[in-house]
């Protein structure tokens, strides 16, 4: 029966990924981040990081807009202790509401403010929407039967497949990574490494040709980024 449940989960969603879930101190991130800290301190003295978004305050963060959902149960080991449904991040809307835990929402906010928005500030009038390819879903990593449950099954992961600009244009991972937007996408991929514990993209494997997988798993050796 459990096996049937697992298989049912598998067919529900897109490509997958995931990692271990232990939380550990992220000291090496902090040590490596002195330069980043200075950059952030200067970059945010007057900009949106200090400004609340109307309706914001989700997870205690003025830049996160959405609703508190509360506990999400199973099946099996799947579920989220305290789930939130995120609608927009620092003024950038999500193409679909993302069911995640607060740590995931906060990591996404850090990446949107610190990388995605500034990287795309001069492209098509600026970033207005992230295309969310997957959020909460009870399934195994990469949909492989018998594999560990993905971080998606715990509300600790989000997949982003495209970026929509104010002028309506769109940059997709599938076309952009090896196209003219490659440099920008690679910069955003690199910058996610830190806010997120696991970052996977087109150079990771065949399962990630068309999206970034971000999750907040903690790894003993620091962030895992491919």
The distance of closest approach from Cβ of residue 212 to Zn ion in the complex, given in angstroms and rounded to an integer, is 8
Provide the binding-site residues for Zn ion, judged by CB under 5 A.
17, 157, 159, 213
| Among the listed residues 214, 224, 207, the one whose alpha carbon sits nearest the alpha carbon of residue 16 | 207
CB atoms within 10 A of CB 150: 27
- Smallest gap from Cβ 105 to Zn ion, in A, equals 15
| Between 53 and 217, CB nearer to Zn ion | 217
Report the nearest approach of Zn ion to the CB of residue 207 (Å).
Answer: 8
In the complex, which residue's CB is closest to Zn ion?
213
Residue with tokens 């992220």: 26
CB 16, min distance to Zn ion, A: 6
Phi and psi dihedrals of 199, rounded to 5? -135, 120
Could you give the residue ranges of the DSSP H alpha helices within 177-218? 182-192
Q: Which is nearer to Zn ion, 86 or 157 (CB)?
A: 157
Residue 147 CB-density burial (10 A; 0-12 exposed, 13-18 middle, 19+ buried): middle
Of 164 and 213, the one with the shorter C-beta distance to Zn ion is 213
Nearer to Zn ion, 53 or 192 (CB): 192
């Amino acid at each position: 029966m459990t096996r049937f449940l697992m298989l049912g989960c598998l067919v529900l969603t897109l490509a997958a990924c995931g990692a271990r879930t232990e939380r550990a101190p992220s000291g090496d991130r902090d040590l490596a981040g002195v330069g980043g800290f200075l950059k952030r301190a200067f970059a945010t003295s007057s900009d949106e990081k200090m400004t609340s978004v109307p309706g914001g305050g989700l997870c205690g963060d003025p830049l996160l807009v959405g609703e508190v959902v509360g506990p999400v149960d199973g099946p099996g080991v799947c579920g989220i202790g305290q789930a939130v449904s995120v609608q927009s991040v620092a003024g950038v809307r999500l193409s679909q509401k993302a069911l995640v835990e607060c740590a995931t929402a906060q990591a996404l906010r850090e990446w949107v403010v610190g990388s995605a928005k500034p990287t795309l500030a001069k492209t098509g009038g600026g970033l207005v929407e992230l295309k969310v390819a997957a959020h909460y879903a009870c399934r195994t990593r990469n949909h492989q039967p018998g594999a560990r449950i993905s971080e998606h099954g715990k509300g600790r992961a989000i997949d982003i497949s495209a970026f929509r600009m104010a002028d309506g244009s769109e940059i997709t991972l599938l076309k952009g990574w090896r196209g003219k937007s490659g440099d920008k996408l690679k910069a955003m991929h690199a910058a996610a490494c830190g806010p997120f514990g696991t970052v996977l993209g087109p150079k990771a494997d065949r399962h990630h040709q068309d999206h970034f997988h971000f999750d907040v798993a903690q790894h003993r050796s620091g962030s895992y980024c491919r």
